[in-house]
Amino acid sequence: MEKIVSLCKRRGFIYQSSEIYGGINGFWDYGPLGAELKRNVKELWWNTMTRQRDDVVGLEATIIMSPQIWKASGHVDTFADLMVECPVTNKRYRADQIEPQDGIVYYFKGAINMLPGEFGFIEGEKEEVEKYLKQKRELSELKKLGENLSASANPKEQKIGALILERVSLKTEINEPFSVLLPAGKPPEAAFVIAADFYEKRGMDCLWPIKSHTEKVVGDTRHNPENGAELTKPRPFNLMFKTYVGPVESEDNVAYLRPETAQAIFAQFKNVQETSRQKVPFGIAQVGKAFRNEVTPRNYTFRSREFEQMELEFFIKPDEVVEAIKGRVTPGAELDTRHSTLDTSSWGWEAWHKYWVEERIAFYEGIGLPRNTLVEYWQKPEELAHYARATVDILYKFPFSKRDEKGELTGEELEGIAARSDFDLSQHERFSGKPMGVFDEELRAAWGKLDEPRKTELSKRYYEARLKYLMKTGVEPAKAEKGAKEDADGLAKGQYIPHVIEPSAGVDRLILALICNAYHEDTMPDEKGKMETRVVLKFHPRVAPIKVAVLPLLKNKPELVKKAREVRDLLRPHMNVFYDDAGAIGRRYRRQDEAGTPFCVTIDFDTLGEKPELKDTVTMRYRDDGKQERLAIGELLTWLSPKIR
Ligand code: GAP
């Protein structure tokens, strides 16, 4: 990672935000190459998810929205991480990110103040006492030290000895328990030093921590791995950034920077559906900034406080509706979702969920992340959000990912694909009082043709699902039953609240994955044929920030420069071209290798017709293996275009 971070800075992919002022933790800027890379990734996602499909449309909503949205979504009440704090350094950590540790816990019951009462220090004595205090740690040892010093012939030592004995005989003056975990083999003094720091923060200096006992522990997560100090109890910390709308900073004007782009899609669902004239199943896609006041931003850009998301909310019919119309729901297991002529009319949530997982994995493969660097992780039932029926996380094996017992990288989340039921639309319906359901003529017609037992069965299932939702969200039982009944009765009228499948990806995490995946070091001959190590970013040409570099062999030959500029201008309207005439050609190739440019076009004397049969041809040089071939200028565009799309 260190090499990658340094390359990103050196080549202008990623910089620390506000670097000249010492930076700001959890915020990152994208430099010239990073900005291009990011733009390419977002555009590829947008094209794949919206423009290439009939059933998805786009949205671009504001970052600040009505705070009611975040009440309805649950973010105001529950979007929190459990946080612990080190009482010595005041650093905060996410409770679930404390690495388990083994070792010995030193428990302290409090501390004695060693400052003199009736004695009073004279110049330099305090330091002298502290010097002794630093040497010995157990209370019994301290007592012994006091006795030895009292018996000394030196009057200064006698005084210190008496002071120590006086203090030892007193009760503890701070009775707050505290503990310190030390790895086996570390000298116990270290625990006393940390404990002294802890008690000193409670307003005392020159004090003596009183140890009560020790305990051997395995897999402990209650102590700070950096210094062993006992962490505070976990407490929730809401991750939303707060601000105020308008000139008055009062609770009435509180607003939040959106922590996800998804909620705007739900809030605008009816508008989009009506204006785009889409019918369920269909999706709404959005790319944009999201903000989370992460307790511990870490792993470079992986967990940032400001980041971008690419989210799709794909609205589908509830299974009961599909069954009413089609007679059955196609089980997910029966599906080959990569088949091009899919009949999706009998797909329920399981099939759609499987479909989107496979679509998204295919997307990642299509932009150059090999399948074996990705993990499809199915969340366990106990990990699922209460409204989710299933969630699959797509993980990428980052260099900083944890390793399993076989030493394999386990991967970190790039994207989550959740089957979120009708939770979000239902919440906005309840909180806004505006209907979020749809009318489906096909359902109304099909319902009329069902026999009574089938109607009863489907209504009952729909009723039970709605009742479960309403009860879980705190609606009182009588009201919940009434509401669920009305919802179930709506089926006969062709009405229902759509369910949703949500593929939600992070742009910045994907950029980091692409850079990690592209980073290679290899050896290649320099201009004199001597092997040298090179750093090369092997981006897929689709995402590469620069698609092609155009290089005149020599800068001081006007005919070469003129021709090279013509080639640049020929390609520039169609792709990002970089023109470079500075330095030896080998050095220029290396610079492009580090930028991840897949193709270099060199204009040389043959291009000008030195060998007549090569007139108007160029050298095409490949980044990955350094091989070269000649191509006619006239065919460059048709040759390059399919490779970068
Ligand atoms: N609407 C669902 C949602 O927001 P999430 O799992 O919290 O789900 C989705 O976020 C994606 O957003 C993640 O898979 C990740 O790629 C990205 N993401 C979340 N928090 C992030 C952070 N602090 N820094 C960078 N990316 C983040």
Tens of pLDDT, residues 457-501: 999 999 999 999 999 998 999 999 999 999 999 999 999 999 999
Backbone angles phi, psi at 250, to 5 degrees: -125, 165
The DSSP result for 592-620, as a single string, is: HHHHT--EEEEE-TTTTTSSGGGTTEEEE
CB of residue 317 inside a 6 A radius of ligand 1:
no
Note whether 352 and 374 are within 8 A (CB).
no
- With a 6 Å cutoff on the Cβ, whether 415 touches ligand 1 is yes
CA atoms within 13 A on the CB side of 3: 13
Q: 619, 595, 617, 602: which is closest to 541 by C-alpha?
A: 595
Which of ligand 1's atoms lies nearest the C-alpha of 308? Answer: 26
- What are residue 214's DSSP bridge partners? 106
- CA 311 to ligand 1 centroid distance, Å: 10
- Which residues share a beta bridge with 217? 103
* Residue that has been written with the tokens 């012939």 in this structure: 153
Instruction: Tell me the pLDDT tens digit for each residue of 173-228.
Output: 788 899 999 998 898 888 988 998 898 888 666 577 888 899 999 999 999 999 99
Token output for 384: 């699922």
Ligand 1 centre to CA of 506 (Å) is 6
Residue from 27, 392, 394, 509 whose mutation best tests the ligand 1 pocket (most atoms within 8 A of CB): 509
CB 289, CB 307: distance < 8 Å: yes
The tokens for 496 are 């229902």
Instruction: Convert the pLDDT of each residue in 579-621 to its tens digit.
Output: 999 999 999 999 999 999 999 999 999 999 999 999 999 999 9
Residues 116-122, mean pLDDT to the nearest whole number:
51
Residues 6+ apart with CB under 8 A from 116: 163
Average of per-residue pLDDT across 259-274: 98
Distances (CA, A) of 546 to 363, 512, 599, 608: 21, 17, 9, 26
pLDDT digits (tens, 9 = 90+) for 429-446: 999 999 999 999 999 999
* Comparison of pLDDT for 145 and 326, the residue scoring more: 326
Instruction: Say which residue the tokens 């017992």 belong to.
Output: 405
Report pLDDT for 355: 94
**Alpha helices, DSSP H only, in 371-494?**
423-432, 441-449, 452-472, 477-492
b/e string for 221-259 if b means 16 or more Cβ within 10 A? Answer: bbbbbebbbbbeebeebbbbeeeeeeeeeeeeeebbbbb
Rounded average pLDDT over 560-588:
96
Q: Tell me the average pLDDT across 397-411.
A: 94
Q: What is the DSSP letter of 520?
A: E
Query: Is residue 124 very low, low, confident or very high in pLDDT (cuts 50, 70, 90)?
Result: low
- Nearest atom (ligand 1) to Cα of 504: 9
Q: What is the pLDDT of residue 638?
A: 96
CB 313 less than 6 A from any atom of ligand 1: no
Cα–Cα nearest to 45, from 500, 414, 336: 414
Cα 197 to chain centroid distance, Å, stands at 35
E strand segments, 65-145: 80-85, 92-94, 101-113
Q: Is the CB of 307 under 6 A from ligand 1?
A: yes
Tell me the helices (H) and strands (E) count for the chain, helix number first: 20, 26
Per-residue pLDDT at 276 exceeds 60: yes
List of residues 6+ apart from 512 with CB closer than 8 A: 300, 301, 302, 398
* Long-range own/partner contacts, residues 254-257 (CB < 8 A, 24 or more apart): 254/67, 255/64, 255/65, 255/66, 255/67, 256/64, 256/67, 256/70, 256/75, 256/76, 257/63, 257/64, 257/291
Ligand 1 neighbour 506 (Cβ under 6 A): yes
Helix/strand/coil (H/E/C) assignment for every residue in 432-467: HCCCCCEECHHHHHHHHHCCHHHHHHHHHHHHHHHH
Atom from ligand 1 closest to the CA of residue 260: 4
CA angle (96, 512, 98) in 5-degree steps: 15
Q: Write the residue with the smallest CA distance to atom 6 of ligand 1.
A: 416
**Cα dist from 252 to 66, 67, 229, 431, whole Å:** 11, 10, 40, 17
Q: Ligand 1 atom closest to Cα of 393?
A: 14
Give the containing element (helix H, strand E) for 146: helix 139-150
Whether the CB of 393 sits within 6 Å of ligand 1: no
Distance 87 CA to ligand 1 centre (A): 30
* Burial zone of 451 (CB within 10 Å; 0-12 exposed, 13-18 middle, 19+ buried): exposed
User: Using a 6 Å cutoff on CB, does residue 413 contact ligand 1?
Assistant: yes
Q: How confident is the model at residue 118 (pLDDT cuts 50, 70, 90)?
A: very low
- Which bin fits 190, alpha (ψ -120 to 50), beta or left (φ > 0)? alpha
Distances (CA, A) of 627 to 221, 520, 605: 53, 17, 19
pLDDT tens digit sequence for 625-639: 999 999 999 999 999
Peptide linkage before 498 cis (omega within 30 of 0) = no
Q: What is the predicted pLDDT for the residue at 123?
A: 60
Q: Whose CA is nearest to atom 20 of ligand 1?
A: 303
Q: Is 509 in the pocket of ligand 1 (CB under 6 A)?
A: yes
Question: Token pair of 324, please?
Answer: 């009413």
Alpha helices in 380-422 (DSSP H): none
Q: Which tens digit of pLDDT belongs to each residue from 306-317?
A: 999 999 999 999
Residue nearest to atom 1 of ligand 1 (CA): 262
Neighbours of 156 (CB within 10 A): 13
Q: Please, are residues 509 and 393 in contact by the beta-carbon 8 Å criterion?
A: no
Q: 505 C-alpha vs ligand 1 centroid, how far in Å?
A: 7
Q: Give me ligand 1 centre to Cα 413, in Å.
A: 8
Give CA separation, 279 vs 147, 190, 275, in Å.
Answer: 89, 67, 11
Binding site membership of 294 for ligand 1 (Cβ less than 6 Å):
yes
Q: Please state, as a whole number, how many other Cβ atoms lie within 10 Å of the Cβ of residue 601.
A: 23
pLDDT digits 0-9 by tens, 535-549:
999 999 999 999 999
Which atom of ligand 1 is nearest to 304's Cα? 24
Distance, CA of 547 to CA of 456 (rounded, Å)? 61
Mean pLDDT over 392-397 rounds to: 98
Rounded to whole angstroms, the Cα distance separating 296 from 294 reads 5
Residue 156 has pLDDT above 90, yes or no: no
Q: How far apart are CA 497 and CA 265, in angstroms?
A: 15
What are the CA-CA distances from residue 386 to residues 75, 418, 472 (Å)? 14, 12, 9
For ligand 1, the distance from its centroid to the CA atom of residue 371, given in whole angstroms, is 21
Structure tokens at 285: 């896609």
Q: Would the CB of 81 count as within 6 Å of ligand 1?
A: no
User: For residue 156, how far is its CA from the centre of ligand 1 (angstroms)?
Assistant: 64
Is the CB of 424 inside a 6 Å radius of any atom of ligand 1?
no
Of residues 461, 422, 645, 615, the one with CA closest to residue 543:
645
**Backbone φ, ψ for residue 417 (5° rounding):** -120, 105
Residues in the chain: 645
Mean pLDDT of 268-288: 97
Q: What is the mean pLDDT of the chain?
A: 92
**In the chain, what percentage of residues exceed pLDDT 90?**
80
State if residue 501 touches ligand 1 by the CB under 6 angstroms criterion.
no
Which residues, in sequence order, are bridge partners of residue 375?
Answer: 395
**What is the SS3 string spanning 262-302?**
HHHHHHCHHHHHHHHCCCCCEEEEEEEEEECCCCCCECCCC
291 Cα: distance to centroid of ligand 1 (angstroms) = 10
Identify the band that residue 527 occupies on the pLDDT scale cut at 50, 70 and 90: confident
| Mean pLDDT (whole number) for 328-342 | 78
Q: Is the CB of 292 under 6 A from ligand 1?
A: yes
